[in-house]
Amino acid sequence: MSNARNIASGAKFVDTAGDTMTGTLNITSPSNARALKIQNGANNSASQITFLSHDGTEDSFIRNQASTVGQDNFAIGTGGSEKLRISPEGYVTTPSQLYILGTPVKSSGDGIADAFYTPSAFPPIGLSFSNSRITVPIAGVYLITFNAIADHGTGREDINVYINGSSRFQSLTATNETGYRQNNVSNAIKLNANDYIQFRHDDWYNPVSTSYDSWKTASVTLLG
């Protein structure tokens, strides 16, 4: 490479006026040595390795965002936006992780929910409710929660979480109680792409409501 220069310890770099390389670049180093160093230019700046698609547009990247010395955030992005970040403390966040929170309900009062109202303060990410179900787009382990109270009545009332039309989680109330009674289920389960989730209640609380209600909530979150 005509613009590669020797610097300390025999390392090499190519500056902004350097060659455009094709083919494979191999970097080897002695044991416990740093084969490649990328340094931020200043505080609050970023050093980044960008991967381009065949037409030259940005496809994904690895970025180190500097704030102060020793307080850098490491990020990985795809599709031109950040998808994973590791803080200096080691906290890992995934801002695009699949997620939905809302209130399921069936207006007739019992059965599988045919509506799902999400709160504007907590919008869904990558998941939606349609045709009485939430369909997951990719395989993975999902955390599913369902919390609801039965409408004011008597006798046993069940809730169910259905996966692909079959009940997988359920909860019941005692048969000798009256009034509003609480049901809760929370489980992690491995799903395949295009599996779907449904929520059922024997006696939906306030079934005519058309907004988010903290007395009856359900959520689906991709854990990984």
Residue 206 lies in a domain: yes
Residues 168 and 207 reside in one and the same domain = yes
Q: Which residue has the tokens 């005519």?
A: 208
| Phi–psi pair at 9, nearest 5 degrees | 65, 20
What total of structural domains would you count in the chain?
A: 2
Average pLDDT over residues 107-134: 95
pLDDT-above-70 percentage for the chain: 76
Among the ranges given (21-35, 51-65, 194-208), the one the predictor scored with the smallest mean pLDDT: 21-35
Average pLDDT over residues 184-201: 96
CB atoms within 10 A of CB 201: 26
What pLDDT, on a 0 to 100 scale, did the predictor assign at position 109? 83
What pLDDT, on a 0 to 100 scale, did the predictor assign at position 32? 67
Residues 64 and 138 reside in one and the same domain = no
Residue 166 lies in a domain: yes
What is the β-pairing status of strands 99-105 and 111-112? Answer: unpaired
CATH number at residue 195: 2.60.120.40
Residues 179 and 109 reside in one and the same domain = yes
76 residue type, one letter: I
What pLDDT, on a 0 to 100 scale, did the predictor assign at position 100? 98
Domain-ending residue, one of 96, 116, 140: 96
Among the ranges given (5-9, 12-16, 95-99, 169-173), the one the predictor scored with the smallest mean pLDDT: 5-9
Total residue length of the chain: 224
Residues 136 and 209 reside in one and the same domain = yes
* Contact predicate 39/53, CB 8 Å: no
Separation between Cα atoms, residue 118 and residue 103, nearest integer Å: 6
Which tokens hold the place of 24? 């494979």
Residues 158 and 78 reside in one and the same domain = no
Is 60 exceeded by the pLDDT of residue 170?
yes
Residues 151 and 63 reside in one and the same domain = no
Is 50 exceeded by the pLDDT of residue 2?
no
Residues 105 and 92 reside in one and the same domain = no
pTM for this prediction: 0.76
What pLDDT, on a 0 to 100 scale, did the predictor assign at position 6? 45
- The domain of 156 spans 99-222
- H helices, E strands: number in the chain: 0, 20
**E strand or H helix that includes residue 171:** strand 166-172
In 3-state terms, what secondary structure has residue 143? strand
What pLDDT, on a 0 to 100 scale, did the predictor assign at position 5? 47
Is 90 exceeded by the pLDDT of residue 13?
no
Per-residue pLDDT tens for 25-39?
666 777 766 666 777
End-to-end CA distance of the chain: 42
Q: How many CA atoms lie within 13 A of 11 on its CB side?
A: 13
